[in-house]
Chains A and B, each alone.
Chain A
């Protein structure tokens, strides 16, 4: 049965915000791939347009199904994603020493991206059943910990420390959101603090070196450290109003690594300056507030938690990526939502926004 109110309640605001961010993304990506002087210039741009189209299609298609079915299907979705992660370890394409991509015919996908949304659905489903005013006890945390640890370990194995930590953050934020008892919180904090030296003790030398470089890129002046310096030069040289569309020199000379993926913000900052960056940050911030508002207006516990989860997922990706290109954060492979080139990332974030819309337009519908 199709409810007319669904159409009336359609969330135009969210759609417009999403379109705006995507448009900014395409403009910046166009710069990034055009000036690079690489032979693959417009191919990537065209591909990204196709991905965006596919993302919107998936988003709209998902609106037809009530989000409560996600609650029911959460385990199945989760298992499929875990299976994909296992497959990556065996059949994945090795790029630069890590196996993150699965080749599906002409496309490659990163299961670790899809896992982000899948994990949020799974955790929301678990918490919506046990949430109380007093907060969660120790026993309540066993299941979410297990749910987190599987994909976490599989992704660390790839190795993709950035995404693994992002998953950890997401689960931590969701847990804090539904609230835990004070003693539980304190114990976890203490355990976490105690675990750090223990883990350090177990790690091999090269792993330690990798983590130290991760925390302090300057340790690797020829790799991550150099990228950060170049990225800072690109961002800083944009000054207030930028050098203008397609006038970025840093990017034009392929001085920047990953300029169309993880470091794409530096292209925006160089060509559009502080004004462009702040414009994007405002768009993002509105999008996040919108998401929190959807969480608030939802009359169903699962929906509320889920909407919050998707919002926090988008937030962390933004914060880590922007922090990284500005040298505030370790260099990790976290893409900028809807801006960075990458099919899996686009689809993941679009699916997340689709979930938000779904919850939003069903806010008055009876469950």
Chain B
């Protein structure tokens, strides 16, 4: 290979050298400018490290109910911090500060020691949420307190204390692992993020973007001027589907009880009420919950931290008879004219299966059996269907699987099949067990939410909606970002004829002369529903005390599901009261109150003069 022409190469390289020389001259000139001409100024600035970054918190989005009632907002909280480098001498400053605020020096020192390794210019938090009095005194003596800062931070505030706690959720400080996932852009250590409920699920919408300021400060850390500001972007506001008025009614009625209330709009899946009792105080979680409180919450046998609407799995009891009826009608094992005799007991194999009505219902047709909730009738329907057919229908009705609501940790419940039992217990399915399943006892488990969705589908003519708690997202300027469209997840495995029969039966439960829930009738509107009493486990005589009273923990769970108005439902409800004994006596009245309030709100029925006044038809 021949080298290229020497002169040519020399010219090219000279060009290159000249170019580099010019470039270096530029760099040198710039250095001279910065270090010599402006050197003095920069030296002065570096003395106190005058240019600092101050972060500006973004306020978290607000949460409203469907009618625009504010449920969660932010309140200003005044935090006391200190910049060690400016607060010279630190010990003396702390002494003075302690005199003014009564915060023990030891506590403050501990905070400073805990942040060793940070730059001496980083403000260290001494006390969160100081009182107005402390604030006033610190502000007044700011000249005696160099390096002491008071910053205003927005803090989450749950307006209706303890209300909707499971649904709204709470905040907690982000941990290192979460920070490293990169899922939380702009979030720094010490920031709070949604830990459960809507606060967690809609975190990305609610969280704003932190802003900041470049500021120049003097030698004791006081602000001289703001050089540059990046405004924080507030989070977006969220409108839930909840109707706070109904929610309050539900929660009031659940007081001193453990249980769950779910109300849903049958025409679109909007969750109108989601109450779980007992509840907890979300405000306790702000800034970290004390371990004592946390332990107490976890140790409570009534499980205040669990959202029973989506996590409570209970035997559906007699409410399941709706499903057994649907399956029986569709499969042709029963029709409108099928009659069975109930003597109060039914011998199957070598066992006796009882009806809840000890002396029996006599002869019944299907509508009568639903209205009076006869167990024997449905034993026979279940027996004819078999467990696996029942399970097929149950799955088609959305039972035994999650509904797909936005909230986390939803439980699927359980619909047993013969295959499942073989796998789980290694023994074959007993035909007798099918009888228990047919009336919703035994292995069957459902959540109150599943029952609400199922009941709503019966009321609306067979459409299963995905339940939802988010109605809309708006910016702080009230610009709508997103309005959720109803989502249909399927249809009930039942024809119109079947549904008409079932709906008639459910109507009789409330409106019929012998209906098990006839006590909750409301003037001017027809309600259709079903009661249920779920056995906690089979009782023995000795569990009752002298008065014939049963120990609370052994009492049955009470169910009530309903929709109203019966012809064109606007609300569907599912209510479970743990150890409430009878659906008709404890669960149904809650439904009555909510239906009444909602339909009054909608103008379907006239407003009653006094709350609590009974209307008897």
Residues of A within 8 A of B (CB): 37-39, 94, 97, 128, 131, 133, 177-179, 218, 220-222, 225-226, 229-230, 232-240, 249-250, 253-255, 269-270, 273-274, 277-278, 281, 284-285, 288-289, 292, 295-296, 298-302, 304, 308, 311-312, 315, 319, 322-323, 326, 328, 367
Give chain B interface residues in 81-136, CB to chain A under 8 Å.
117, 119-121
The B contact surface, by secondary structure, is helix
Q: Which residues of B contact A230 (CB under 8 A)?
A: 51
Give A235's nearest chain B residue, CB to CB: B34
Q: Which residues of B contact A239 (CB under 8 A)?
A: 35-36, 39-40, 42-43
Interchain CB contact under 8 A, A326 and B230: no
Tell me if B30 counts as interface (CB < 8 A to partner A): yes
Do A226 and B35 have beta carbons less than 8 Å apart?
Answer: no
The answer to whether A237 and B46 have CB atoms under 8 Å apart is yes
B31 touches A296 (CB 8 A): no
* A326 cross-chain contacts in B, Cβ below 8 A: 27, 30-31, 34
Q: Which residue of A lies closest to B39 (CB)?
A: A239
- Which residue from chain A places its CB closest to the CB of B211 in the assembled complex? A222
Give the most central of A97, A234, A238, A284: most B CB within 10 Å.
Answer: A238
**Would B34 and A236 count as touching, CB distance under 8 A?**
yes
Whether B36 lies near A240 (C-beta < 8 A) is: yes
A222 and B53 within 8 A (CB): yes
B332 interface residue, CB < 8 Å from A?
no
Q: Report the separation of the CA atoms of residues A133 and B11 in the bound assembly, to the nearest whole angstrom.
A: 12
- Asked if residues A236 and B16 are in contact (CB atoms below 8 Å), the reply is no
How far is B152's CA from A290's CA once the two chains are assembled, in angstroms? 60
Known: A221-B229, A237-B42, A308-B16. A39 touches B117 (CB 8 A): yes
Q: Which residue of B lies closest to A278 (CB)?
A: B28
Task: Give A94 to B4 CA distance when docked, in angstroms.
Answer: 46
Given A300-B1, A300-B3, A255-B121 contact (CB < 8 Å): yes
Asked, given contacts A232-B34, A254-B119, whether A308 binds B13 with beta carbons under 8 Å apart, the answer is: yes
Whether B344 is near chain A, meaning CB under 8 Å from some CB there, is no
CA distance A249 to B213 in the complex (A): 22
A249 with B27: CB separation less than 8 A: no
CA distance A277 to B29 in the complex (A): 12
The reply to whether A233 and B51 form a contact with Cβ atoms under 8 Å apart is yes
How far is it, in angstroms, between the C-alpha of A1 and the C-alpha of B559 when the chains are bound? 96
The contact string, 1 if C-beta is below 8 Å from chain A, for chain B 1-15, is 111110011101100
Given A274-B32, A312-B16, 18 new contacts (CB under 8 A): A39-B117, A226-B53, A234-B46, A236-B34, A237-B42, A237-B43, A249-B47, A250-B49, A269-B31, A273-B35, A281-B24, A281-B31, A285-B20, A300-B1, A315-B23, A323-B27, A326-B34, A328-B30
Say yes or no: is B157 at the interface (Cβ < 8 Å to chain A).
no
Of A220, A238, A296, the contact of B9 (CB 8 Å cutoff): A296
For B9, B28, B35, B182, which residue has the most chain A Cβ atoms within 10 angstroms? B35
Whether a CB of chain A sits under 8 angstroms from the CB of B228 is yes
Cα–Cα, bound, A270→B42 (Å): 10
Chain A residues within an 8 Å CB radius of B1: 128, 300-302, 367
How far apart are A190's CB and chain B's nearest CB, in angstroms? Answer: 22
User: Is B38's beta carbon under 8 Å from chain A?
Assistant: yes
- A221 vs B13: C-alpha distance in the bound complex, in angstroms? 41
Closest 5 CB pairs of A and B: A236-B42, A221-B228, A237-B46, A239-B39, A222-B212
- Is A278 a contact partner of B31 (Cβ separation < 8 A)? yes
Q: List 14 A-B contacts (CB under 8 A).
A: A37-B119, A133-B8, A177-B16, A221-B228, A232-B34, A235-B42, A238-B35, A238-B39, A250-B49, A281-B27, A285-B20, A300-B1, A300-B3, A308-B16
Q: How far is the CA of A234 from the CA of B28 in the complex (A)?
A: 16
Complex Cα–Cα for A112 and B47 (A)? 39
Given A298-B3, A301-B3; A253-B121 close (CB under 8 Å): yes
Contact of B13 among A254, A284, A292 (CB under 8 A): A292
**Does B217 reach chain A (CB closer than 8 Å)?**
no
Contact of A289 among B17, B32, B39 (CB under 8 A): B17
- Taking residues whose C-beta sits less than 8 angstroms from the other chain, chain B's interface range is 35 or more
Contact: B214 with A229, CB < 8 Å?
yes
**Are B35 and A94 in contact, with the CB atoms below 8 A?**
no
Residue of B nearest to A254 (CB): B119
Q: Tell me if B480 counts as interface (CB < 8 A to partner A).
A: no
Instruction: Name which residue of chain A comes closest to B44, CB basis.
Output: A237
* Residues of the B chain whose Cβ atoms lie less than 8 Å from the Cβ of A235: 31, 34-35, 42
- Please tell me if B41 contacts chain A, counting CB pairs below 8 Å: yes
Are A315 and B119 neighbours in the complex by a CB distance under 8 Å? no
Q: Which of B33-64 contact A (CB under 8 A)?
A: 34-36, 38-43, 45-47, 49, 51, 53
Known A-B contacts A229-B51, A235-B35, A301-B4; the reply to A177 vs B42 at CB < 8 A is: no
Name B17's contact: one of A255, A292, A304 (CB within 8 Å).
Answer: A292
Set B26, B45, B230: member contacting A233, Cβ < 8 A: B45
Question: What chain A residues lie within 8 Å of B213 (beta carbons)?
Answer: 221
Of A220, A288, A322, which contacts B20 at CB under 8 A? Answer: A288
Chain A nearest Cβ from B43, distance in angstroms: 4
Contacts of B21 in A (CB 8 A): 285
B179 within 8 A of A: no
> Which residue of B26, B46, B53 contacts A249 across the interface (Cβ within 8 Å)?
B46
Considering the chains assembled together, what is the distance between the CA atoms of A125 and B45 in angstroms? 52
Contact A322 B39, beta carbon cutoff 8 Å: no
Which residues of chain A come closer than 8 Å to B13, judged between CB atoms?
A: 292, 295-296, 308
What separation, in Å, do the CA atoms of A313 and B50 have in the docked complex?
37
B49, A249: Cβ atoms closer than 8 Å = yes
A311 and B20 alpha carbons, distance in the complex (Å) = 10
Whose C-beta in chain B lies nearest to the C-beta of A38? B117
Least CB distance, B309 to chain A, in whole angstroms: 38
Known interface pairs A226-B53, A292-B16; A304-B43 also in contact (CB < 8 Å): no
- On chain A, the residues within 8 Å of B32 by CB distance are 274
The CB with the most chain B CB atoms within 10 A, among A236, A253, A322, A328, is that of: A236
B6–chain A nearest beta-carbon distance, Å: 8
Docked Cα-Cα span, A194 to B184, in Å, equals 39
Whether A179 pairs with B20 at a CB distance below 8 angstroms is no
How many whole Å from A298's CB to the nearest CB in chain B? 7
Residues of chain B within 8 A (CB-CB) of A178 are 12
Give A129's nearest chain B residue, CB to CB.
B1
Chain A residue nearest to B56 (CB atoms) is A222
B227 close to A (CB within 8 Å): yes
For the complex formed, measure the closest distance between the CB of B247 and the CB atoms of chain A, giving whole angstroms.
40
